Structure formats: structure tokens, C-alpha cells
């Protein structure tokens, strides 16, 4: 599997499945962006190596072509000097260089095509990374909103509502205690009222007796009624 196949797997991965399995989606999103950045850094090195190879082949090809032209120029110079032996030797050197040029040309062309393709793929990956960075904050915000909605839904559905139920139960106990206290207060008030009335009756009887005694002492009592 080539390096671009491995990089492509990262972007083609099922993100939803990954987030479902992640305990912390926000942390997972950040980690995924970091992995993308690391992968692109590795890819950049591979592209740089490919470009360097292309440039090396290009320099060799340029040098070989220049050398071929130079031997041709020397052969022409030898002919002008009536030195066919030197001209033949120069042409032999040129033939060797020309074979090297013929070998280098397809290799250079292939290397150039490969590096151009890799540069295009790297640009596409960088664009995807930029998109991922831009969407990261949005996805994190959506994740936080989803968590809040889930908590609210769980509270309304009874999940995690123990505190509310305990609060209501405690309020009920307080209301019960208040009712009992009020009932005992009313009962206690009734008993006190009865006791006060009986005390008043006893006090009234004593006062009446004292009044009779005082009237008798003063001779103010009416004479007793005669029996028929």
C-alpha cells in the first residue's frame, strides 16, 4: 500500500463510528486533526524526495545533452582541422553520451509526472486538512450541544432525576411534620380551653359563697321562707 493510500484511509474513515466509540468526541476530533497533520508532514517529505529525484534527473539530462553537443562541436572542429581520426573519436564519445540521453529522457519524464501527481495529491490533502480544521470547531460545538440536549432529555425521561425525587420526598416529609405539629397544637389548645373553663367554674362558685357569707354578716340576707 502506497503512502497516498494510507493517507486516503484517514480521510475515508467512518468518522461517525469513530465518534460513537470515543469517550470524548471533542478529544477525538482534535486527535484526528493531529493525525492528519502528521500524515501530511510525512507525505510532504515523500513529495520533496520525489521532486529532488526529478531535479537530479533533469540536471543529469541537461548535462548529458550539453556534453553531446560539445562532442559534436569537437568533431566539427577536428574535421575543419583535417583530423578525421579525432572527429571519429569525438563522434564515438558523442554516441555514448547520446545513449545516456536516450536512457535518461523516459526516466526523467516519468519522475516529473510522478512528482506533479504527488504535488496535486498533497495539495488536495492540505485542502482537506484546512476543511477539517475549519469544521473542527463547528463539530465540537455540535458535540457540546448534543451532550446538553442528552442530559436534559435524560432528566425529563426520569434518568438521573433521583435528586428531584428525593427533594420532592423530603418536601413531603416536611409537610407531614408541619401537619402533625398543627394537629397537636390544636389538640393541646382544646385541652387548655377546657381546663380554663373548669377553673372559672370553681372560681365562680367560691366567689358566690364568699358573697353569701358577707351578706349574712351584714344582715342583708332575706329571711328564710316559711314552710306551709
Percent residues over pLDDT 90 in the chain: 34
Residue 6 has pLDDT above 60, yes or no: no
CB 71 within 8 A of CB 111: no
pLDDT given at position 100 = 95
Q: Which of 66, 179, 45, 53 is nearest to 114 (CA)?
A: 53
Same domain? For 106 and 184 the reply is no
Last residue of a domain, one of 114, 137, 160: 160
Instruction: Confirm whether 227 is domain-assigned.
Output: no
pLDDT tier, 214 (very low <50, low <70, confident <90, very high otherwise): low
In this predicted model, what pLDDT tens digit does every residue of 92-111 receive, in sequence order? 999 999 999 999 999 999 99
Cell of 114: 510522478
Last residue of a domain, one of 112, 142, 160: 160
Report the b/e string of 138-150 with b at 16+ CB within 10 A. Answer: ebeeebeeeeeee
How many domains does the chain divide into? 2
Domain that holds residue 215: 165-220
Instruction: Confirm whether 177 is domain-assigned.
Output: yes
Same domain? For 154 and 176 the reply is no
Report the b/e string of 155-170 with b at 16+ CB within 10 A. Answer: eeeeeeeeeeeeeeee
Instruction: Confirm whether 182 is domain-assigned.
Output: yes
CB 40 within 8 A of CB 129: yes
CB 48 within 8 A of CB 3: no
Amino acid at each position: 500500500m502506497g503512502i497516498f493510500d494510507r493517507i486516503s484511509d484517514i480521510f475515508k474513515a467512518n468518522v461517525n463510528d469513530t465518534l460513537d466509540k470515543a469517550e470524548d468526541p471533542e478529544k477525538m476530533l482534535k486527535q484526528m486533526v493531529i493525525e492528519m497533520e502528521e500524515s501530511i508532514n510525512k507525505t510532504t517529505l515523500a513529495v520533496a524526495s520525489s521532486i529532488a529525484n526529478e531535479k537530479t534527473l533533469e540536471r543529469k539530462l541537461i548535462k548529458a545533452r550539453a556534453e553531446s553537443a560539445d562532442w559534436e562541436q569537437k568533431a566539427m572542429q577536428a574535421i575543419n582541422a583535417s583530423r578525421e581520426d579525432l572527429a571519429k573519436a569525438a563522434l564515438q564519445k558523442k554516441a555514448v553520451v547520446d545513449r545516456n540521453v536516450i536512457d535518461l529522457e523516459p526516466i526523467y519524464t516519468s519522475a516529473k509526472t510522478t512528482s506533479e501527481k504527488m504535488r496535486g495529491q498533497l495539495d488536495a490533502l492540505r485542502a482537506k486538512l484546512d476543511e477539517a480544521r475549519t469544521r473542527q470547531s463547528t463539530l465540537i460545538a455540535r458535540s457540546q450541544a448534543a451532550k446538553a440536549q442528552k442530559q436534559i432529555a435524560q432528566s425529563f425521561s426520569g434518568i438521573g432525576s433521583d435528586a428531584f425525587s428525593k427533594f420532592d420526598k423530603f418536601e413531603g416529609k416536611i409537610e407531614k411534620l408541619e401537619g402533625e405539629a398543627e394537629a397537636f397544637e390544636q389538640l393541646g389548645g382544646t385541652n387548655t380551653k377546657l381546663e380554663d373553663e373548669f377553673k372559672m367554674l370553681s372560681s365562680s362558685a367560691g366567689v358566690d359563697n364568699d358573697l353569701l357569707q358577707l351578706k349574712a354578716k351584714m344582715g342583708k340576707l332575706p329571711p328564710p321562707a316559711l314552710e306551709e
